Amino acid sequence: MTEPPDPSSTPVPPAPPWQHPAAREWEKLRGDCRITTGRVKGPGGQHRNKVETAVTIEHLPTGVRASASERRSQAENRRVAQRRLRRALAIEHREPPGDPRALAAAVAPYRTGSGLRVSEDNPDFPTVLAAVLDLLAWHEQQIGPAATQLEVSTGQLVRFLKRVPAAWEHVNRVRRQAGLHPLR
Residue 125 lies in a domain: yes
The pLDDT of residue 136 is: 94
Q: Per-residue pLDDT tens for 82-129?
A: 999 999 999 999 988 778 888 999 999 999 887 889 999 999 999 999
**Residue span of the structural domain in which 120 resides:** 101-177
Q: Which long-range contacts (CB under 8 A, 24 or more apart) does 48-56 make?
A: 48/72, 53/77, 55/80, 55/81, 56/81
Same domain as 123, residue 88: no
Residue 183 lies in a domain: no
Q: Cα angle at 120 between 118 and 122, to 5 degrees?
A: 70
Same domain as 78, residue 116: no
The pLDDT of residue 99 is: 85
Look up the pTM and report it: 0.84
d(CA 82, CA 153): 31
d(CA 92, CA 167): 9
Q: Per-residue pLDDT tens for 148-179?
A: 999 999 999 999 999 999 999 999 999 999 99
Q: Which band of pLDDT confidence, cut at 50, 70 and 90, is reported for residue 51?
A: confident
Domain boundary residue, one of 31, 66, 92: 92
Question: What is the percent of the chain with per-residue pLDDT over 90, rounded to a whole number?
Answer: 67
Same domain as 130, residue 77: no
Same domain as 116, residue 87: no
Query: Of 100, 169, 110, which Cα lies nearest the Cα of 140?
Result: 100
Question: How many independent structural domains does the chain possess?
Answer: 2
